[in-house]
Amino acid sequence: MQLNPHNKQEFPPMHSAEHLLNGEMARRYGCGRAFSAHIERTKSKLDYRLDRQLTDADLRSLEEFVNNAVMADVVVTEEFVTQAEAVRRFDMTRLPDGASDTVRVVRIGQFDECLCAGAHVARTSEIGHFRITSSRWADGVQRIVFRLDLP
């Protein structure tokens, strides 16, 4: 596969871990998925709009959730649906202008489902151990920084 030298190659384990954390943040805190994300091979960060700072217990619980999903070793699947079907199931505001009528949905077992064009692992056990390494809250924005210890 030839890569565009101007684009960074996605790292499937980190991208899949991001999905797990995003889905749980949206469910648990009603904040939606991260409004800003920086996903890298060695460390990644996600920003959420929240009305309070997450406690250490909140962060450990999120870490436990992601690691339980990893240990569940569920299959990561994809399906293609029309935008008309997707609009009934997903927030379409981040879909780029000019996107095709068919969109891709990535599902990680019962843990997460969202629109995505990125690269993913085949099974959650390929993600490795998930660690939240730092967080900060300022002006209604909760940042979570995480790393993976690969299998």
Q: Is residue 134 part of a domain?
A: yes
Res. 5: pLDDT tops 50:
no
pLDDT in tens, 94-138: 888 888 899 999 999 999 999 999 999 999 999 999 999 999 999
Domain residues for the domain of 41 are 12-149
Q: Is residue 68 part of a domain?
A: yes
Q: How far apart, in whole angstroms, are the C-alpha atoms of residue 49 and residue 33?
A: 9
pLDDT band at 9 (very low <50, low <70, confident <90, very high): low
Q: Look at the chain and report how many structural domains it folds into.
A: 1
Q: Is residue 2 part of a domain?
A: no
Res. 71: pLDDT tops 90:
yes
Q: Is residue 4 part of a domain?
A: no
Q: Is residue 5 part of a domain?
A: no
Which segments within the chain are labelled E, that is strand?
Answer: 36-38, 44-49, 76-82, 102-108, 112-115, 129-138, 141-149
Task: Find the CATH number of the domain harbouring 71.
Answer: 3.30.980.10
Q: Is residue 101 part of a domain?
A: yes
Q: Is residue 6 part of a domain?
A: no
pLDDT score, position 91: 86
* Helices 12-29, 56-72: inter-axial angle, 10-degree rounding: 130
Q: Is residue 90 part of a domain?
A: yes
